[in-house]
Copies of this chain bind each other. A is one copy, B any other.
Amino acid sequence: MTAPPTPDRLRLAARRLFAEQGYAGTSIRQIVRRAGANLGAVTYHFGGKQRLYHAVLAEAIAPLVERVTQAAEGPGSPVDRLEAVMRAYFTHLDERRDLPALISREMAQGRPLPPPMREAIGRISQTITGLVADGQAEGLIPPGPPLHFGLSLLAQPIYFALVRPGLARFTEGATEQPAWRAALIEHAVAFARRGLEFPVTVEQP
Contacts and interface: CB of A to CB of B under 8 A. Distances in A.
Interface in A150-198: 151-152, 154-156, 158-160, 162-163, 165-166, 169-170, 183-184, 187-188, 190-192, 194-197
Nearest to A160: B151
Contacts of A199: 194, 199-201
A107 B192 contact: no
Interface stretch (A7-15, A42-50, A66-74, A97-105): A97-105
B113 A166 contact: yes
Interface string A81-102: 0000000000000000000110
B19 A22 contact: no
Interface string A119-134: 0011001000000000
Number of copies: 2
Nearest to A156: B155
Interface of A: 19-25, 100-101, 104-110, 112-113, 118, 121-122, 125, 142, 144-145, 148-149, 151-152, 154-156, 158-160, 162-163, 165-166, 169-170, 183-184, 187-188, 190-192, 194-197, 199-202
21 contacts: A20-B108, A20-B109, A24-B25, A107-B163, A107-B165, A107-B166, A110-B165, A121-B166, A144-B183, A148-B188, A148-B191, A149-B191, A154-B159, A155-B155, A155-B156, A155-B158, A158-B159, A159-B159, A192-B195, A199-B199, A200-B201
